[in-house]
């Protein structure tokens, strides 16, 4: 699929340098931070798993899972987006009908996360209570993160620095690459910014948003925050984020 041009947030040449193999079975039992971007009805839902790099590793690892209603995939495919190909290749899971069943989605998420040492799972507080209750019942450490500049401004910049610095391994995820190429940003006077998909309804950024939510959990974790090496300059001051 053709990626968008230079008006997007991330440079695709930087993104492509973050490719590599990701073997999930080799990560079983490892510390993991998750972010969930949940559709309310018929859009894409995404679960991002972020595995912080160990001392002897050069890159963090990112794995994203996607769900879309079968009927929605058919409609979206008419816009030239290869949903049918991605579904056939197992890169996106198509669910029955025209909306995502949140009970089934919650079961999928729990099934995926059970193999890892989940430190935090971040989800929009205004999304499905069904999913939140299921995660809580399963004993997963889920929390909520508001989809606003105050919460996501800092982790968005951390995520950007990971990509630009080649410190991320996204496994060459074709779907996530497409979503990364769709990302635009709202820049606040403070210098912080948030990702959005622009005015086109057919472009999606759900996997990137879920990834930033996962990074939020890692950055916000007290033990990791104290050790973070991610810095940015603001008004000639160096601030630890």
pLDDT tens digits, 51-101: 999 999 999 999 999 999 988 887 777 778 899 999 999 999 999 888 888
CB atoms within 10 A of CB 102: 20
Residues contacting 187, CB < 8 A, separation 6+:
193
Q: How far is CA 148 from the centre of its chain?
A: 15
pLDDT tens digits, 15-47: 999 999 999 999 999 999 999 999 877 789 999
């Amino acid at each position: 699929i053709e990626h968008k041009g230079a008006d997007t947030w991330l440079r695709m040449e930087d993104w492509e340098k973050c490719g590599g193999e990701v073997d999930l079975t080799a990560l079983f039992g490892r510390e993991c931070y998750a972010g969930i971007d949940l559709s309310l009805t018929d859009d894409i839902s995404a679960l991002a798993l972020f595995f912080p790099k160990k001392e002897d590793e050069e890159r963090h690892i990112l794995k994203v899972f996607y769900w879309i209603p079968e009927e929605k995939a058919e409609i979206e495919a008419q816009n030239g987006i290869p949903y049918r190909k991605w579904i056939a290749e197992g890169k996106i899971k198509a669910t029955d009908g025209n909306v995502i069943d949140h009970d089934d989605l919650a079961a999928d998420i729990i099934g995926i996360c059970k193999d890892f040492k989940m430190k935090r799972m971040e989800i929009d507080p205004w999304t499905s209570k069904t999913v939140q209750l299921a995660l809580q019942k399963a004993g997963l450490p889920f929390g909520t993160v508001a989809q606003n500049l105050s919460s996501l401004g800092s982790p968005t910049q951390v995520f950007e620095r990971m990509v630009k610095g080649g410190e991320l391994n996204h496994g060459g995820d074709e779907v996530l690459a497409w979503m990364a190429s769709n990302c635009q940003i709202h820049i606040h006077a403070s210098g912080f910014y948030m990702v959005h998909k622009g005015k086109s309804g057919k472009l999606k950024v759900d996997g990137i948003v879920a990834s930033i939510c996962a990074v939020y959990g890692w950055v916000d974790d007290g033990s990791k925050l104290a050790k973070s090496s991610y810095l940015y300059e603001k008004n000639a001051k160096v601030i630890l984020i």
